[in-house]
Amino acid sequence: MKAVVLAAGEGKRLRPFTVSRPKVMIPVGNRPILEYVISALVENGIQDIVLVVGYRKETIMSYFADGRKFGARITYAVQEKQLGTAHALSIAKKHLDDEFLVVAGDNLIDSRTVSDLVGYDGGPSMLVTESEIPSKYGVVQVEGDRVVRIDEKPEGRIGNIISTGIYRFNEDLLRAVEDGVGGGKIGITHVLQALVPKMDLPAVHTTGKWIDAVYPWDLIGVNAAALAVHGQEIAGTIESGVTIKGSVSVGAGTRIRSGTYIEGPATIGEGCDIGPSATILPSTSVGNGVQIESFSLLSNCLVMNNVDIGSHSHLSHSVLDDGVRVATGLASPAGCAFARVEDEFFRLERIGGLVGEGTEIGSGVVIASGSIVGAGCRIGSGVRVTGNLENKSVVV
């Protein structure tokens, strides 16, 4: 069986982390979210994968290429304009057989999630899971094993079973979905919403992993979940006097200098220079080519590639995108805060600072909990940042 993986969307609500990459390419545990999806499929023997790409497609194509490195055979279908998931399916159609899986590329899943659906042999079906916050998703009502109703982001609490966006399709269902597009219904879920009362669509329950990142701060949790399954693999040079506890992986060409303390789960990429005497605490990912200087502490952080963190910095529950440079003494502590995305406010129990790619931060800067700093900002020394900063802001 083949699978079509939907990877064309930008992920606007995750800005600034999608300035130069689509949502599926955001790295968690040092691998793009999409890589977890592809591995889950390959582990279930699904090697022929059609990737529907669009926004910043080159980042996907240059990473996955023909899929060989990942044990898959990838074909690309380009969706020039992001006209929804139903449209994406019709673009991928010519590469597909009668029966195939449809998988969202931007949810962290594991092989069990896929095997639950592959193992079900009752034809076209929808994979559903339980969620603690169903109101963010399409809530599904099931009678027997049949989906009878779908409510997109319902106001009240009507149930905790949600659609994972993973389906088993055949030609008939594909045709029905294609016919159902129109009148503003452009997502697969929207189309099915109208169709399910009239048709027989079984729901298949999964207890496998299914984690979604909708807002920038969700990345902290997704990263932690991704790290939880990583193994330990130490390459590079570990100087004497380094303490490594728990499951920690260190990439080739990385040097961990003396006095550094690392507690896993954590992953450190290739070609990094860490310490001397830096501290990295659990659920932290450090990308490739990152430098972390002395007496800096990172806890539960997602640090992407080519980031420089000067000495005496403290970061907790924070995200630093590619190429962020911190001179010295940055404080980005975790706390309870209100964060804002597109004029919506969210109360978050524990969040640090979220910083977009290429931003340069001077010495002694404080980023208040829950602040979202855009890409390419320049923040002068001694500044205290509260609230959100647009891309390319200059603060002195």
Partner 1 sequence: MCGIVGYSGSRQAVEILIDALKRLEYRGYDSAGIAVCGKELQVYKDKGEIAKLQESLPVMKGTVGISHTRWATCGRPSKENAHPFVDCTGRFALVHNGIIENHMALRRELVARGHKFTSETDTEVLVHLLEESYKGDTHAALVETLKKVKGTYAVAVVRSGSNEVVAARKENPLVVGLGVGENFVASDVTALLNYTNKVLYVMDGESAVISPAGVRLFDESGQEVRREPSTISWTIDDAEKGGFGHFMLKEIYEEPLAIHNTLLGYLDDISDGNSIGSSRFSSVKIVACGSSFHAAMVGKYVIEALSDTPTTLELASEYRYSPGTKELPLVVLVSQSGETADTLAAAREARRRGCKTYAITNVVGSTLTREVDEVFYTRAGPEIGVAATKTYITQLVALYLLGMRMGIARGTIGPDSLRSMRSELRSMPKHVRTVLDNSSAIEEATDMLVNARDVFFIGRNINYPTVLEGALKLKEISYIHAEGYAAGELKHGPLALLDAHTPVVAACVKDHTYDKMLANVAEVAARDSPVLAIGFEDDTELNAVADRVIRIPKVSPIFSPMLITVVLQMLAYYTARRKGCPIDKPRNLAKSVTVE
Residues 6+ apart with CB under 8 A from 374: 15, 16, 356, 359, 388, 389, 390, 391, 392, 393
Residue nearer to partner 1 on the CB measure, 45 or 182? 45
- If one asks whether residue 18 binds partner 1 (CB under 8 A), the answer comes out as no
Minimum distance, C-beta of residue 302 to partner 1, in the bound complex (Å): 16
- If one asks whether residue 11 binds partner 1 (CB under 8 A), the answer comes out as no
- Binding map of partner 1 across residues 289-308, x = CB under 8 A, - = no contact: x-x-------------xx-x
Rg (CA), the chain: 22
- If one asks whether residue 252 binds partner 1 (CB under 8 A), the answer comes out as yes
The enclosing H or E element of 337 equals: strand 335-341
Residue nearer to partner 1 on the CB measure, 224 or 278? 278
Residue nearer to partner 1 on the CB measure, 160 or 391? 391
- If one asks whether residue 240 binds partner 1 (CB under 8 A), the answer comes out as no
Nearest to 200 by CA among 99, 89, 126: 126
- Binding map of partner 1 across residues 66-85, x = CB under 8 A, - = no contact: xxx--x-xxxx-x-------
Q: What are phi and psi of 131, to 5 degrees?
A: -135, 145
DSSP tag of 182: B
Residue pair 341/323 in contact (Cβ under 8 Å)? The answer is: no
Residue nearer to partner 1 on the CB measure, 212 or 322? 322
- If one asks whether residue 313 binds partner 1 (CB under 8 A), the answer comes out as no
With tokens 């963010």, the residue in question is 136
Residue nearer to partner 1 on the CB measure, 57 or 317? 57
Nearest to 21 by CA among 66, 61, 55: 55
Count the helix, strand and coil residues of the chain and give each as a percent rounded to the nearest 5.
Answer: 20, 35, 45
- If one asks whether residue 239 binds partner 1 (CB under 8 A), the answer comes out as no
- If one asks whether residue 148 binds partner 1 (CB under 8 A), the answer comes out as no
Minimum distance, C-beta of residue 2 to partner 1, in the bound complex (Å): 7
The enclosing H or E element of 195 equals: helix 188-195
Q: Which stretch binds partner 1 (CB under 8 A): 6-14, 64-72, 239-247, 327-335?
A: 64-72
- If one asks whether residue 48 binds partner 1 (CB under 8 A), the answer comes out as yes
Residue nearer to partner 1 on the CB measure, 94 or 157? 94
Residue nearer to partner 1 on the CB measure, 71 or 382? 71
Residues 229-268, buried b or exposed e (16+ Cβ, 10 A)?
A: ebeeeeebebeeebebeebbbbbeebebbebbbbbbbbbb
- If one asks whether residue 53 binds partner 1 (CB under 8 A), the answer comes out as yes
- If one asks whether residue 255 binds partner 1 (CB under 8 A), the answer comes out as yes
Count of residues binding partner 1 (CB under 8 A)?
Answer: 45
- If one asks whether residue 241 binds partner 1 (CB under 8 A), the answer comes out as no
Residues 6+ apart with CB under 8 A from 110: 36, 40, 208, 209, 229
- If one asks whether residue 65 binds partner 1 (CB under 8 A), the answer comes out as yes
**Beta strands 378-379 and 360-361: pairing type?**
parallel
Minimum distance, C-beta of residue 288 to partner 1, in the bound complex (Å): 6
| Choice from 357, 359, 373, 385 touching partner 1 (CB under 8 A) | 357
Distance CA 169, CA 183 (A): 23
Residue nearer to partner 1 on the CB measure, 350 or 378? 378
Residue pair 3/42 in contact (Cβ under 8 Å)? The answer is: no
DSSP conformation letters of 76-128:
EEE-SS---HHHHHHHHGGG--SEEEEEETTEEE-HHHHHHHHT--SSSEEEE
DSSP tag of 203: E
- If one asks whether residue 323 binds partner 1 (CB under 8 A), the answer comes out as yes
Residues 6+ apart with CB under 8 A from 344: none
Residue nearer to partner 1 on the CB measure, 164 or 254? 254
Q: Which residues bind partner 1 (CB under 8 A)?
A: 2, 20, 45, 47-48, 51, 53, 56-58, 60-62, 64-68, 71, 73-76, 78, 94-95, 97, 237, 252-253, 255, 270-271, 273, 288-289, 291, 305-306, 308, 322-323, 325, 357-358
